[in-house]
Amino acid sequence: MEGSYQLTKKQTLFRDVVKNLVQKRIAPRAAEVDGTASFPHEVSGILGQNRLLSLLVPKEQGGEGAGFMDFCITLEEISKICPTSAVICAFQNLGARFILKNGKESHKSYLAAMAKGEIIFGFSLNEAAALDLAAVPVAAVKEGPTYVLNGAPCFVANGDAAGILAIFVRTQGTMSGLLLEKGTALFPVVKIEGLTGSEARYGCQAVFRDCRVPGESLLGQEGDGPRILSEFMGEIGCTAAARAVGVGQGALENALRYAKDRAQFGRPIFQFQAIQSLLAGMATRVEAARHLLYKAASLFDQASKDAFRFAAMAKYFATDAALAVSSDGVQIAGGYGYMKDYPFEKMMRNAKLTQIAEGTNQLQQLIIAKYL
């Protein structure tokens, strides 16, 4: 049935396995990961050892052959505890899917190392480029068997940790995609300091000055960039929704636990009607966002043409819901909600990031309106 998104028994069991792993292996490192600007290679190693970085790779190519729904369930569970670790999981899996759909046979040699977390996938996503060729920050000129690159894309996710980097460039009046290997394409990556939220998934700026890259770097054909970028933005938007649902659920669970433990005037604050009203609103927003997310994920699994429309809706709604829910969590915790010793402010920071990254919510609204 098209649009069916009831979890199967197998998916429910899988979710419990991921939840148990996150509690045992990721949770003890969550505060450290959130507080450092260094890429947490230990976390990528844990995810790789437990085969969570190759979910979207077919079994015949060494992956898990899981569906997009399984992938989103995984991101949701990780995001409840550590949104940054969920971003790592998201980019490694989407990077593998990206290569399988758009790369050459030579590019597929990266998949095994990506699955182990040994090669990190980086991506430069400039949503304005999807609407305006002039906004593409890098120009590529074909000279014999190579492309010569000039420009500096900003906010390259995982930039200085990445072994391979996907970027979009201007080529002969159109946009094309390139997959670059740092070992064969020499260019400096400048770290952007002081980002708020998911600091370990920091942004970077790659700088290209007469940088020569092999023609083999081209994804698809010249001019395929708009199609490749559009498809990737739909998929990455859905994963942002999954992370947002996880952040919202994590904020709700922490707020509920706090409200039951915190006493005022001789009783737990959960017994006060004002707190109950806040929690009820939080629970409703999270559940509504989850249903929209699962609808989108199920449509991706069915290769439905409606998947991208629902992905935009899920990203827009779920990320707004996550910010509202995490903000209410801070409100319930009061002054403690602003302290780094508690998880509330971390959830609120990361919820805000989901509204901005992977295509702003205003862009999602334009996408939805286009379908209308």
Query: Residues 139-189: pLDDT tens digits?
Result: 999 999 999 999 888 778 887 788 999 999 999 889 999 999 987 777 777
Residue 209's Cβ-count burial label (10 Å; 0-12, 13-18, 19+) is: exposed
Which residues in the chain land under pLDDT 50?
1, 200
Scanning the structure block, which residue is given the tokens 């729904």? 69
Task: Identify the CATH number of the domain in which residue 113 sits.
Answer: 1.10.540.10
Final residue in a domain of this structure, among 223, 252, 276: 223
The pLDDT value recorded for residue 1 is: 38
Q: What is the pLDDT of residues 97-126, one digit of tens each?
A: 999 999 999 999 999 999 999 999 998 876
Domain shared by 217 and 237, yes or no = no
Domain shared by 253 and 362, yes or no = yes
The pLDDT value recorded for residue 133 is: 67
Beta bridge partners of 74: none
Domain shared by 28 and 110, yes or no = yes
**Overall domain count for the chain:** 3
In a domain, 255, yes or no: yes
Q: Is the dihedral of CA 358, 359, 362, 366 positive or negative?
A: negative
In a domain, 178, yes or no: yes
The pLDDT value recorded for residue 117 is: 94
The one catalytic residue among 64, 76, 127, 358 = 358
Domain shared by 248 and 350, yes or no = yes
Domain shared by 92 and 162, yes or no = no
* In contact, 44 and 88? CB cutoff 8 Å: yes
Domain shared by 75 and 155, yes or no = no
What is the extent of the structural domain holding 161? 122-223
Q: Is 358 a catalytic site residue?
A: yes
Task: Identify the CATH number of the domain in which residue 308 sits.
Answer: 1.20.140.10
